[in-house]
Structures are given as C-alpha cells and as structure tokens.
Amino acid sequence: MRAMVLHEQMEIEAAPLRLEEVEIPEPAADRMRVKVNACGLCRTDLHTAEGDLALHKRPIIPGHQIAGTVDRLGEGVERFAVGDRVGIAWLHEACGRCRFCGRDAENLCTDGRFTGWDVDGGYAEFATIGQDWAYPIPEGVGDVEVTPLLCGGIVGYRGLKMARPQPGLRLGMYGFGNSAHVNIQVARHLGCEVYVFTRTEHHKRHAEELGAVWVGEVPQTPPHPLDASIMFAPAGTLVPEALKILDRGGTLVLGGIYMTPIPEMDYPTYLWDEKTICSVANATREDGEELLRYAAQIPITTNTVTFPLEQVNEALLKMKRSELTGDAVLVP
C-alpha cells in the first residue's frame, strides 16, 4: 500500500514525510483492518514531524483522525462487520489494568498507546484498530466531514465538559482551529455565550458565522468577565491573560498536548478568588461517543480542505503558517 512515512524529525519545510510502498497490515485477533477513506491532519502531527514530541516508533506512519470502511476482520471480532464505517482516534488503546483505567480514566492510562505515535496511523491506504477502540460513524455524517471530530474535536469536547457548560455560561476560546470550530457548535447547543480570541482574519469571520457573541485578540478585553475559558492555542504566554479576565470561581482549561512555557504569575492578580487551571490529557471513548451523537443531532458542520496523500508535507506547512481556510484532510 502507499503510505507517507516519517523516518527522521525535521522542520516541515524540509518535507520529512516520504511516500513509500509498505506492506498492507493484517489484523490480529480482536482487531480489524480499515480501508482509509479520509484522514484529518492535526497539529500534533506537525509536532511529531518537527520533533516537539519524541518519536515512540521509528519509522512511523502518522495520522490519527481516520474515517474508513472495515475491510477485514481478525479472529473474534463481533462488534463490526466488513463494510461498516468506523472512526479511529488518537487513543489507540489503554491497558484496562492500571488504577486509572479502573476508575474510568482510560485517558490517563499508564500504558496507553496512541495512533500515529505508538502504532502506524492513517497517512496510508489501510490501518488497523482493536474492535473496542473504533467508533461507529453515524448515518448522515460524511467521512471527510467527521475527521476533524476524531482528535481535536474529541479532546476539545473533553475540555468543554471540564468548563461545565450550561445555559448562560460565558465561555472564552483562545485559538479557533479544529477543536474550537467544532466545540463552539456544541457549546452554543448547550446554551453558552462564546467569546473567541484569535489573530487570524478568516478565523474571526468563521467564529462570527458560528455564533460567537464577541471576537477579538489578546490583550483586548471582552465586555464581560468570563466564567470559563478553553486554551486551544499552544502559547503559554496567553495563560496569564486568560486568567486575568476570568470572573471569580472561573476555570481555565488548557486543551493542548503541547504548550510553550507559562510565565511566572502574581498570585493575587491571576489566581485569587478560587480560579482554577486544569489540563486535558487525551480523551476517553465515552467523550468520543458523546461528541459523535452531537455530530448527528445538532448537526455539527466542519469546514475542510482535502489533499491527496502525497501532498501531506505541503498541507502541514500550510497548517504551520495558518494558511488553511479549513481543516486539512488527506484522501488516499
């Protein structure tokens, strides 16, 4: 099969991913082979390619927002049938034995494995997944359109749950990429007022189109203190700015896998009055199942731009330069 393979980490400008012919994977027991119909690009893929995240497997086929069709079943697979549409997300599997798995916190598993990092992912024509870790894709939700939900969407949704959404909640969002443009739709569905901070003009317009009540840039101040905010941008320098405009008892959720250093902060100015900072680490299957139900129910719309498999380096470079007008999706 054709696949885009990463052997050595380097700046994306150097095109580190190479098109190669590799063996088609065979599914082991309780696993399925999936024909990849679409695979979304995530900023985590960029961090993996450029070396911000250490490689767990070398070489590796990245990609962890996969929508496809079940192509072959391993022994013991009963949950899905050949021809079913399924999604594969960032969390590839958890051990099921550690104390975190035992308290329904599989996202914190001490031996978890991740798609496109520990195991080969979706920058290819085929991928494999355990039957318990695949998501049924709802009817009416297209393969290309669902891919932005399968990582940034799910992790962002977990962050939204940590912000405790409810009618009238004043919710800030910092950065307006994949996660934010999906989860503003859920937040508004749940009755929140959403305030968006972004520097990019087309992201500002998109936020307004999706119902943000205010759109601006840091250090601009919205008309009201915020009850909660989600930090999608991986910029630690924004953390004090976000805390400063939280109301008493407010929560700041850090929603990225990677963030630049957070500056030293004065306690009375930024953290007094029972303000809370928390981080999001991956997501659970329950998070993904809930978000996909919303995807069909609301319905969630996504703004995508497709690329052929061999143009993944170019697509990641456009992502790095904020030149994309939608979420990049590979279509093998």
Domain ranges of the chain: 2-148+299-330, 153-279
Is 325 a residue whose pLDDT tops 80?
no
- Give burial (CB, 10 Å; 0-12/13-18/19+) of 182: buried
What residues contact 208, with CB distance under 8 A and at least 6 apart? 215
Side-chain-side CA neighbours of 192 within 13 Å: the count stands at: 29
Please give the model's pTM, rounded to 2 decimal places: 0.90
Cis omega (within 30 of 0) on the bond before 16?
no
Partner residues linked to 228 by β-bridges: 171, 251
Handedness of CA 189, 190, 195, 197 (dihedral sign): negative
Tokens of 108: 């914190």
* Helical pair 312-320 and 43-50, crossing angle rounded to 10 deg: 100
Higher-scoring residue by pLDDT: 37, 258? 37
Mean pLDDT along residues 154-164: 96
pLDDT at 257 over 90: no
Closest CA to 149 of 65, 91, 64: 65
Cα(256)–Cα(138) distance, integer angstroms: 27
- In 3D space, the residue among 66, 59, 69, 72 whose CA is nearest the CA of residue 19 turns out to be 59
Nearest C-alpha neighbor of 327 from the set 181, 128, 114, 216: 181
Position 294 scores a pLDDT of 97
Query: pLDDT tens digit string along 211-231?
Result: 999 999 999 999 999 999 999
Q: What is the pLDDT of residue 259?
A: 86
Comparing C-alpha atoms, which of 234, 216, 235 is closest to residue 226?
216
Q: How far, in Å, CA of 31 to CA of 29, rounded?
A: 5
The answer on pLDDT for 237 being more than 90 is yes
Alpha-carbon torsion angle 96, 280, 49, 12, nearest 10: 160
Report the pLDDT value the prediction gives residue 202, as an integer from 0 to 100.
83
Residue 63 and residue 78: Cα distance in Å, rounded? 26
2-148+299-330 belongs to which homologous superfamily? Medium-chain alcohol dehydrogenases, catalytic domain (3.90.180.10)
| CATH class of the domain whose range is 153-279 | alpha beta
